[in-house]
Amino acid sequence: MKRSGWILWLALWASILVSPLLGVSCRREQTAKRYKLAFITNNKSDFWEIARAGCHAAQQDLGDVELLFRMPAKGTVEQQDDILREMIHLGAQGVAVSPIDHARQGQILNEVARHALLITQDSDAPESNRRCYIGTDNEAAGRQAGELLKQALPEGGTVMAFVGKTESPNASRRIHGLRGALDGSNVRLIGIQTDDTDRARAVKNVADALDKYPDLAGVVGLWSYNGPAILNALRSAGKTGQVQAVCFDEEDKTLEGVRTGEIYATIVQQPREFGYLSIQLMHDILDGKPAPSGPVIVPTLVVDKHNVDAFCKQTDRLRQGG
């Protein structure tokens, strides 16, 4: 074979061998992460693990997102502020956050908004420069809790509410809705106890209330971990069935209490949708699509003894990333 023939033959084989590699390179370039998007919770709980599953589902569907998911284990403003600063440092292009105390965090939230697309989820900060809010209509959810208490206590009575922080927007709106639903009824809200997201303190608050008010007819837990705290305290005091409980969210212990009848009902949000919609919405806005003109409301659901088993099956699937 002449030298020119060898050269042509080698070139042909080189093109055959290199073409698949070029294809792989092109595919890698096409699927390279384009958007670095952050999702920040307000504490560490099972509720947020379901939101994480929604974030990952959106990441998989979109194919061009690097996800930064953060849960402040202590649930403090200071810890969440540090995470927000970390997102600026990491160059996140979009940040979806559930503010712990919007009144104290206005400066850091607006600092994030100067560097990235900022949206709020679960708990709003309407006075900040966030582009939109995704989550529950918390006032409507509070009214829902009040209506459930009236159903559970047809003869009326006094009730106590428990929450991490009353200054958190979602808590304050739920309390407002709760008061509105009970206003003029024979069910009377006599106080609100806070625990600063300290779970041991949350149990103690309920135990102290049961001891101080022996005729207490009902209790309502406004944050996810308040449900297990209420159940533990009621069991320790031997008052399950005597004191009616209405809770929020789908922690395992709360669902256990609903199943056994020790908790009348729990109002569940849809945290998977919080996660999925947050990532999808930030992606769409960064792609040039218009932001929603108003809040994106994800409806709540009531879980009681009639539908708890079906709901548990669905929740287990979501926690496993399904």
More confident residue, 6 or 174: 174
Q: What is the pLDDT of residues 146-202, one digit of tens each?
A: 999 999 999 999 999 999 999 888 899 999 999 999 999 999 999 999 999 899 999
pLDDT at position 33: 66
| Backbone torsions φ then ψ of 191, nearest 5 degrees | 175, 165
Mean pLDDT of 209-219: 98
Whether 4 is covered by a domain: the verdict is: no
> Do 260 and 275 have their domain in common?
no
Report d(CA 136, CA 142) in Å as an integer: 10
| Length of the chain in terms of residues written | 322
pLDDT at position 105: 96
pLDDT at position 14: 44
Q: What is the pLDDT of residues 39-57, one digit of tens each?
A: 999 988 888 999 999 999 9
Q: Which domain holds residue 120?
A: 35-136+270-298
What's this model's pTM, rounded to 2 decimal places? Answer: 0.74
- Asked if residue 12 has pLDDT above 50, the reply is no
> Do 78 and 109 have their domain in common?
yes
Whether 277 is covered by a domain: the verdict is: yes
> Do 167 and 238 have their domain in common?
yes
Rg (CA), the chain: 25
CATH of the domain at 157: 3.40.50.2300
> Do 80 and 44 have their domain in common?
yes
pLDDT at position 4: 44
- Asked if residue 141 has pLDDT above 90, the reply is yes
Report d(CA 212, CA 229) in Å as an integer: 17
Q: 3-state DSSP call for residue 219? A: strand
> Do 264 and 154 have their domain in common?
yes
> Do 231 and 260 have their domain in common?
yes
Query: What is the total count of domains within the chain?
Result: 2
Report d(CA 240, CA 18) in Å as an integer: 71
Report d(CA 136, CA 245) in Å as an integer: 21
> Do 130 and 67 have their domain in common?
yes
> Do 95 and 158 have their domain in common?
no
- Asked if residue 107 has pLDDT above 70, the reply is yes
> Do 162 and 238 have their domain in common?
yes
pLDDT at position 322: 59
> Do 179 and 148 have their domain in common?
yes
Whether the CB-CB separation of 273 and 122 falls below 8 Å is answered with no
If you write DSSP's letter for every residue of 34-47 in order, what string do you get?
A: -EEEEEE-SS-SHH
